[in-house]
Amino acid sequence: MRIIRTRQELHQSIKSLETGSIGFVPTMGYLHEGHLALIQKAKSENDFVVMSIFVNPLQFGPNEDLTAYPRDEKRDLKLAEEQGVDILFLPNVSEIYPVPLSTTIHVEKRVDVLDGEKRPGHFDGVATVLLKLFHLVMPNRAYFGQKDAQQLAIVEALVEDYFLPIAIQRVETVREADGLAKSSRNINLTVDERKEAPIIHQALLAGKKCILDGVEDETTILAEVQKTLGKVTKKVDYLALYEYPSFKAVTDFSRTLILAIAVQYEKARLIDNELIKRGEENA
């Protein structure tokens, strides 16, 4: 595995690769099984795998603590090498943003709800850094987890809008044995919060069952989710049902839907979702 920290080194390394496809896995590090699933999927579909680890300051809001984001470079290096990553790109902030930006990327659609509404500017930062990384790596395919479904929809739109020659590959959410979605932020849960957190996914599954059983009343579906959530309800940042990937109000229950939730604990904000398509076990 080549460990690279500068754009110039990355350019040279990408150029030196033998003819073959490149799978790209962009991350913010503190790797867990969800990231490893992305690597495994990339390895199965490409000749080479490039992973980036970069905690992007542009996607953190004024009330969000960038310095508190979990980091463990030594462990990340070990995991990436064990999984067979060919190139690991570890730039610092000045390498990605050497000068103040003279142009900006602003995401117009799919951001007026959920995290886009709760974290204004967040997805502008995501789109900006990904556009930079896509140009640096020039991958054939890039891999994103379904857990960040709104981000996934925005990245798919970014690639389509700018005719980027990249196939965006969706990878299903990786979960703990009790159903909690794997996340770098789970480490910040208290013991009691960790015991409670699996209820989040149980509640989403209750709502999903309603939809698959033929219920077409949004109020009824969300009430079923709230019923399962129980005492977690007072910590819910949002709970909503939309068509996917447009994030528009549901007008046709035969389309792919997203049932999404965010729960704010003391030091960790957890998001999760279910993509639902009638007639398909997994949308």
**Look-up of token digits 């704010």:** 264
Please give the structure tokens belonging to residue 262: 């965010």
Q: Is 59 annotated as a binding residue?
A: yes
Fold adopted by 184-276: Pantoate--beta-alanine Ligase; Chain: A,domain 2 (3.30.1300)
Q: Is 32 annotated as a binding residue?
A: yes
pLDDT digits (tens, 9 = 90+) for 196-215: 999 999 999 999 999 999 99
pLDDT at 283: 44
Q: Is 183 annotated as a binding residue?
A: yes
* pLDDT at residue 125 is higher than 90: yes
pLDDT digits (tens, 9 = 90+) for 184-196: 999 999 999 999 9
Helix axes 199-212, 218-229, angle to 10 degrees: 150
Helix axes 33-45, 73-82, angle to 10 degrees: 40
Asked, as a colleague might, if the bond just before 139 is cis with ω within 30 of 0, I would say no
Which whole number is the average pLDDT over 27-41?
96
Q: Is 145 annotated as a binding residue?
A: yes
Q: In DSSP terms, which residues pair with 51 in a beta bridge? A: 25, 88
What ranges do the domains of the chain cover?
2-171, 184-276
Do residues 155 and 141 make contact, with C-beta atoms less than 8 angstroms apart? no
Which has the closest alpha carbon to 197: 229, 223, 225, 174? 229
Other Cβ atoms closer than 10 A to 69: 17
Q: Angle 215-220-226 (CA atoms, 0-180°, nearest 5)? A: 125
Q: Is 191 annotated as a binding residue?
A: no
Q: Report how far Cα 83 is from the mean position of its chain's Cα atoms.
A: 20
d(CA 240, CA 275): 12
Q: Is 148 annotated as a binding residue?
A: yes
Q: Do domains 2-171 and 184-276 have the same CATH topology?
A: no
Rg of the chain taking only CA atoms, in angstroms: 19
pLDDT digits (tens, 9 = 90+) for 74-112: 999 999 999 999 999 999 999 999 999 999 999 999 999
Which positions ≥6 away from 66 have C-beta within 8 Å? 55, 57, 60
Please give the structure tokens belonging to residue 81: 């090498």
Which positions ≥6 away from 72 have C-beta within 8 Å? 29, 30
- Could you give the residue numbers annotated as active site? 35
- The pLDDT > 70 percentage for the chain reads 99
Does the domain spanning 2-171 belong to CATH 1.20.1260.10? no
